[in-house]
Structure 1
Amino acid sequence: MYNIVLFGPPGAGKGTQSEKLIQKYGLTHLSTGDLFRKHLGEGTELGLLAKKYMNEGHLVPDEVVIGMVEDKISETKDTHGFIFDGFPRTTAQAEALDKMLGNHKMEISGMIALEVPQEILKERIKERGKTSNRVDDQDDAKINTRIKVYLDETLPVADYYSGQNKLTKINGVGKIEEIFAEITSVIDSY
């Protein structure tokens, strides 16, 4: 069983690579963005709260995110593992994830961090904004806020997994298939 944290700033290509990894390894995709959209689509209180924070370009509070993730892990049976996309975003979330997985007799196999320069991230997000209909993909100030939040609040999660010898950094710029090949090489070594 593989439990992989696919990590990187907004626009790094996590969603694109996640889709390919799910197909190759039969993993269950656990994207906080998808969980937020599900809850929002169902009009739940958690969904509306998450939307407020996302529209402002801020992180959703840990207790909201952790509750959604725990529900998804508990309800998913017969999987080859999980690919965590956009979670954990804080060291506290990483610690909570380790504890949750331990309760299910699982652990994180590794974190794969996609590294992309800021200017390329901004270009990718603006391009994605043409079709995503996400407010935070279309506004320069919100894009800058999201990148700053990632650098200030999320990047320390890489140190957390590095301390467990579970971090591998990969250049996230290049052809999708070449990046995918690098990622699968790392996963196959677990």
Structure 2
Amino acid sequence: MRVILLGPPGAGKGTQSKKLAKRTGQLHISTGDLLRENVSLGSELGQQAKGYMDKGALVPDELVIKMIAERIAQDDAKSGFILDGFPRTIKQAESLDKLLQEHSLKINYVIYLDTSEGIIIQRLSGRLVCSQCQGNFHAKNMPPKQEMICDYCGGSLYQRSDDNPQTISKRLDVYKDDSSPLIRYYDAQGILKRIDADRDAEPVLEEIVLLLKK
């Protein structure tokens, strides 16, 4: 089974993707992780991506799609995967569909984590990010074991400068404009499922698991 998790910043896509992968045994593919791994390994695609990242520019869709293509061709992706962080636009969605069709595959479910603005602001305002592995914590809801130190790699944690209520609201406005066509795209295919993600992580996970069993 191949699943995409969509939702606004702070909806819990990364958290739910990891939990779902652990529960189902399927591969979790994070485009952010893919980019960092390729850059770290110095692969040909990673070197190309680094050139854009060093300039502060967005990595072109074509490069990201090539990284995804390489990843889903590996043995551990044959039984399915959970895609987190991609696609974000109609163009990316169409490129992904084309890639999967070339392998006689398709996306089975697109889970949209529906989250209210108030909850998102609450979550992101307390978010802490690892400077090394980009792991996420929350000052109140999921604090690290040691203050401002990452549980996963020991890196130092920081709060993003744009994780404040005013900037978050602006980011959400941009997200709504960008995501509306994408949501309609998958809804028209009959594979979009909405989940109330205002709740704690565990009940959200249970609803997703139940949905995927149908």
Q: TM-score range by the shorter chain?
A: 0.7 to 0.9
Aligned to 1:25: 24
Q: CA contact under 8 A between 1:38 and 1:47: conserved in structure 2?
A: no
Q: Which amino acid aligns with 2:198?
A: V
Question: Larger C-alpha radius of gyration, 1 or 2?
Answer: 2
How far apart, in 2, do the equivalents of 1:98 and 1:180 lie? 26
- Segments of structure 1 that go 5 or more residues without pairing to the other structure are 54-58
% same residue: 38
Residue 80 of structure 1: CA displacement?
A: 2.3
Q: CA contact under 8 A between 1:30 and 1:85: conserved in structure 2?
A: yes
How far apart, in 1, do the equivalents of 2:19 and 2:98 lie? 28
Q: Secondary structure at the match of 1:155?
A: helix
Residue 83 of structure 1: CA displacement?
A: 0.5
Aligned to 1:182: 207
Q: Which moved more, 1:178-187 or 1:76-85?
A: 76-85
Q: CA contact under 8 A between 1:26 and 1:79: conserved in structure 2?
A: no
Residue 113 of structure 1: CA displacement?
A: 0.2
How far apart, in 1, do the equivalents of 2:168 and 2:79 lie? 34
Q: CA contact under 8 A between 2:129 and 2:159: conserved in structure 1?
A: no
How far apart, in 1, do the equivalents of 2:160 and 2:31 lie? 16
Is 1:67 aligned to 2:66, yes or no? yes
How far apart, in 1, do the equivalents of 2:73 and 2:159 lie? 30
The structure with higher relative contact order (CA 8 Å, sep 6+) is 1
Q: CA contact under 8 A between 1:27 and 1:81: conserved in structure 2?
A: yes
Q: Report how many aligned residue pairs link the two structures.
A: 182
Residue 123 of structure 1: CA displacement?
A: 2.7
1:2-81 mapped onto 2 (5 Å cutoff): 2-42=1-41, 44-50=47-53, 52-53=56-57, 60-77=59-76, 79-81=78-80
Q: CA contact under 8 A between 2:72 and 2:78: conserved in structure 1?
A: no
TM-score, normalisation: structure 1 = 0.83
Aligned to 1:98: 97
Q: CA contact under 8 A between 1:27 and 1:79: conserved in structure 2?
A: no
Q: Deviations over 1:24-64 (max 9, x none)?
A: 212111111111222333452313424624xxxxx643223
Q: Secondary structure at the match of 2:107?
A: coil
How far apart, in 2, do the equivalents of 1:90 and 1:34 lie? 19
